[in-house]
Amino acid sequence: MTDKLKTESKPTEYPISLTDGAITKALLSMKAEGKTGWGLKISVKIGGCAGYTYLLSFVEHPLDTDEILQMRELKVFVDKNALRLIKGITIDYLDSLNESGFKFINPNAKTTCGCGTSFS
């Protein structure tokens, strides 16, 4: 499984990116949920007001269909079937008076909904 592991040393080779804020929030949330050492799974499902919805979850082990990335201390599992829709995406975490939560900046999205978690 380690042969599939990409390291942070060449981030330009990553199909997606997470900001430091997103990585930190994911690690803190994992710890709070008692899932330290698990991975952040990124996938997409059909639904939402614009056609597709981003899904983030914590999983203990990747599937054979997952791309495995290492970003700082965070393991990231990306559903390879979703890569055509999210390749090049940046995931950020915002915590301000106006917004809080994960923000998805997807260069492949033709349209997005007002909440920012649905796209086409």
Q: Where are the domains of the chain?
A: 15-119
CA atoms within 13 A on the CB side of 105: 9
Tell me the fold of 15-119: Hypothetical Protein Aq_1857; Chain: A; (2.60.300)
pLDDT at 117: 52
Tens-digit pLDDT profile for residues 14-38: 789 999 999 999 999 999 999 999 9
Contact 14, 50 (CB under 8 A): no
pLDDT of residue 11 exceeding 80, the answer is no
Question: Which residues does residue 54 pair with via DSSP β-bridges, in sequence order?
Answer: 44
Residue 93 CA, distance from chain mean position? 11
**How far apart, in whole angstroms, are the C-alpha atoms of residue 39 and residue 36?**
9
The mean pLDDT of 34-57, rounded to a whole number, is 86
Tens-digit pLDDT profile for residues 51-109: 778 899 999 999 999 999 999 999 999 999 888 888 999 999 999 888 889 988 888 76
pLDDT at 46: 79
Closest CA to 118 of 51, 29, 43: 51
**How far apart, in whole angstroms, are the C-alpha atoms of residue 31 and residue 49?**
32
pLDDT of residue 49 exceeding 80, the answer is no
